[in-house]
Structure 1
């Protein structure tokens, strides 16, 4: 059966994302829009409106053209949104890059996305420079922070003084790409997810009935803007509604707690590791967190007992969960704030204008019924346009009828609450970040003393999913140690992708087709 949302449909928002978010920015004037949570910089809505328009003019003057791709390579700063909306207004798509990416990883994304422009920050300039050299085709690297331009690289802020006219760009919101984040989907290597202006803007409208924001709300942006969760929940959504976003570059517990206290934060959008810290860390008791009104948790499964421990400690309503994926712009389910007593463990109810099926795990031609488990499939206006340059991968993800097969297993109760109970997909979620086993396996096989390898996610003592490698040594390589393997991988990938456990085995279980039988490895772990 097809499950429908109990909420009224919302009209599709066929607007460029900069207009959908900042369309009322100028009239909000001196209302604080973005506050640097580590310093003393505040940008008002009027400044955000003016600055992104001037920088759009500067980018166009520099040669950026509609259809170009700009790589935004930065931790959270108050200038990240300015750069994003400026590039959009100039007609470019923005591919967001993990600030911890190695030059090699960054170069792969540059080549795959055909990015011609890079915006980075001073501490990451060398990584960006090396990546640009490896990839080729980059027109210019611009620096986007308070530091002065250096070594011949221009500062994005310098464009504020341009006298060039604001670009008049024709954007087709239904077809043109606004954001190009990279996701591994259900398995495999990272792929560019083509999110149109319309898909992102419409998803913002779909989310409004669930978690209303507005002037006076203060949101703490600690999850990264480069990730679709942060881009939506911490940047686009609050700025669209006139809330104030307090920006932190990374999660440091004391800095995080101090920002809540100082700025009287009333809403948190977090991932499970932060819930764990709020529930258990003794430092929490040293800060005044009484301004908090609610917490939403997503990006990875949240244990029900942990959620209760956190909400009880902070004297808050039950933590709201949400569900989605990059390919869905990203939201499909949220637990509404007004729900008086949502069942423990639910990830919410369907957003407006969204349909869901649960495909039987034993018979793909049959749908699971209420209370029965099945693979979650989603259809709606928030579905991506496809994977950049990968029609086969797109067809494997989105069927002929427009259903996105998520690779997650769920069940729906009689009241329409969705519970995600398992994953059939192979993706590992390390603290909310996607880690593709196939990418790590391919890397391990380049080691001269590794004959075969498989990677799965296992859980550490804190309940965090981590990558574990099963490694077959080459003949005569009996002195290869777990430390050797861990250090080899760590030197070639971003820190969140590191192998954290290694087990040496005689063989990797495989099907006749050669596909790794990860289920057997998970059973060995008791997972």
Structure 2
């Protein structure tokens, strides 16, 4: 096993709300916590805390009790932070939902998590209401934050909650076992599952990340990565608030607005995914903006190419770093500290309070850390206070991922140097990472098989012209039917969120399978490799 070169940090036995807001000083209360990017409106730490407390009171007044689940379908806005932390203050569990989801996908998550309430915004209200109806929620169980308005008719709003004057409930629970959030992840394989993260998981990961990511209270952080994703939730929302930094929120990525907000608010620390790095390295719009305030750009959610990262450094004049994690790790387990010069094709050091080991994927034997140089590759396993409690209502998937001794299988192949620097080599898991979002091949295959024109199908990730991993479908057409590439694309696009769309299609006579009927994806990958 190997550990972090950093000493362990204290993980206080507190709820997320108490950890972030109970110790605010008088000076902290007046600091800017949130800036709404599009409007420029500001929330101080006092505003955020007091409004979250008011939301907690309103939720309790509705009869919601600790342990109840509420769905939050909302892009990055200050209201997200208010409602998210208000729900946690009330002892509720928040299942955050991808803003791009279709009504069917929203309904599936609401049903699986047993959510009693769905909170959204007016642009998403129609889909949210349709999803809520599918799972038996009433119109009054759909809260439209930015009401009143046509889309919010018949629905409570954030204004209603903030003006209700209901006292926050007196709730008591064990942070080590009480679930704070239920984000959904496909894990190492298969369909999306509810990842049970406790208050201690989230508090621990913020405490662990603080010395490694080196954010300080004078930082102005642009929040473009979605808060509904665990990366945005922990590294942006919670870490920034814990350090008393200022967060500038963006509801969706637009390069022109991204650059303008960095310039306008003199943002200092940017957290991105690799597709944004491509734009920063290559797009001509960058030349028209003053980005001199940026000292660090940190990439996550998918592997960053080292040459691309160095191109961003040279063009922006900042430090480029990256890290590694997964939803099941709350999510961070490794990071390159801004002040440390490590190879950019690595994910840096293991976080404090965290142990790792590498297992030979063929034998299961533990791979030794070398005295010099780099180890042999092996599957990365991680143990620490950030490791999830398990998958909701799925003991089999939990036991497949979590060892009895607490180590979590990441499904990723890694190496480690004698100095403890970790490099991710490739993925064992079959998940496709499209622009940082997870796409499960099994989900797309099941969807395409529902088409009467498709006899069989397999989906893998392939590289497009820009080097991004995209879903490609190998399709066997039903005898007597006609189907073209656009027909396959359209069938999927009408039924899934945009990031799950099939981007490439190839028609084949048969899907390669093992004797047990399992798709031989390695044969399809070899087929793709033969074309390079």
Name the Cα RMSD after superposition.
1.3
State the distance in 1 between where 2:454 and 2:144 align: 41
| Alignment check: 8 A CA contact 1:34 1:246 kept | yes
Query: What displacement does 1:170 show?
Result: 1.1
Contact 1:375–1:405 (8 Å) recurs in 2: yes
Paired with 1:280 and 1:385, the residues of 2 have a C-alpha distance of 42
Aligned equivalent of 2:494, options 483, 491, 495: 491
Q: Secondary structure at the match of 2:366?
A: coil
CA distance in 1, matches of 2:43, 2:57: 19
Q: Distance in 2 between matches of 1:151 and 1:343?
A: 54
1:277 Cα deviation after fit: 0.4
* 1:197 corresponds to: 199
Distance (Å, rounded) in 2 between the aligned partners of 1:304 and 1:201: 31
Matches within 5 A, 1:137-148: 137=137, 140-145=141-146, 147-148=148-149
- What is the SS of the residue equivalent to 1:154? coil
1:266/1:291 contact within 8 Å kept: yes
In 2, Cα distance between equivalents of 1:517 and 1:402: 31
Q: Equivalent residues in 2 for 1:396-407 (5 A)?
A: 396-407=400-411
- Which residue matches 1:347? 347
1:501 matched residue in structure 2: 504
Q: Residue 291 of structure 2 aligns with which residue?
A: 289
For the residues of structure 1 that align with 2:523 and 2:246, how far apart are their CA atoms? Answer: 48
Shift of 1:213: 2.3
Give the 5 Å matches for 1:42-121: 42-121=42-121
TM-score by length of structure 1 reads 0.97
**Residue deviations 1:280-338 (CA, integer Å, cap 9, x gap):** 00100000000000111010011111111110111123x11100000000010010112
Q: 1:451 aligns with which of 452, 455, 459?
A: 455
Quote the offset at 1:29 in angstroms: 2.0
Question: 2:120 & 2:335 partners in 1: Cα distance?
Answer: 33
- The residue aligned with 2:30 is 30
Q: Is 2:7–2:352's contact at 8 Å kept on the other side of the alignment?
A: yes
5+ residue gaps, structure 1, are: none
Residue of structure 1 equivalent to 2:323: 322
Conserved 8 A contact 2:355-2:383: yes
3-state SS of the aligned residue for 1:323? strand
Deviation of 1:137 (Å): 4.4
Q: 1:393-472, aligned counterparts within 5 Å?
A: 393-472=397-476
Gap change, CA 1:233 and 1:133, over 3 Å in 2: same
Matched residue SS, 1:226? coil
What are the Cα deviations for residues 135-181 of structure 1, in whole angstroms up to 9, with x where unaligned?
12466111112655832111122111123221111121010100100
- Could you say which residue in structure 1 is the equivalent of 2:307? 305
Q: 1:288 to 1:26 in 2, by over 3 A?
A: same
Structure 1 pair 366–46 and aligned structure 2 pair: CA distance change class (3 A): closer
Asked if structure 1 preserves the Cα contact closer than 8 Å seen for 2:471 and 2:500, the reply is yes
Partner of 2:522: 519
Q: Structure 2: which 5+ residue stretches go unaligned?
A: none
Q: Distance in 2 between matches of 1:457 and 1:431?
A: 12
Q: Tell me the SS of whatever aligns to 2:365.
A: coil
**Distance in 1, Cα, partners of 2:416 & 2:313:** 24
- Cα deviation for residue 8 of structure 1 reads 0.9
1:238-272 Cα deviation digits (max 9, x unpaired): 01110000000111000000000000000001000
Moved more, 343-352 or 161-170: 161-170
Secondary structure at the aligned position of 1:210 is classed as: helix
Partner of 1:20: 19
Give the superposition deviation at 1:416.
1.1
Whether the aligned pair in 2 keeps the contact of 1:368 and 1:374 (CA below 8 Å) is no
Mapped to 2, the partners of 1:165 and 1:269 lie a distance apart of 36
The alpha-carbon deviation at position 525 of structure 1 amounts to: 0.9
**Counterparts in 2 of 1:118-157, with a 5 A limit?**
118-137=118-137, 140-145=141-146, 147-148=148-149, 150-157=152-159
Distance (Å, rounded) in 2 between the aligned partners of 1:32 and 1:41: 10
Contact 2:214 2:337 in 1 (8 A): no
Using the size of structure 2 for normalisation, the TM-score is: 0.96
**Partner residue, 1:234:** 236
Q: Secondary structure at the match of 2:110?
A: helix
CA distance in 2, matches of 1:34, 1:26: 17
Q: How does 1:470-485 map to 2 (within 5 A)?
A: 470-477=474-481, 479-485=482-488
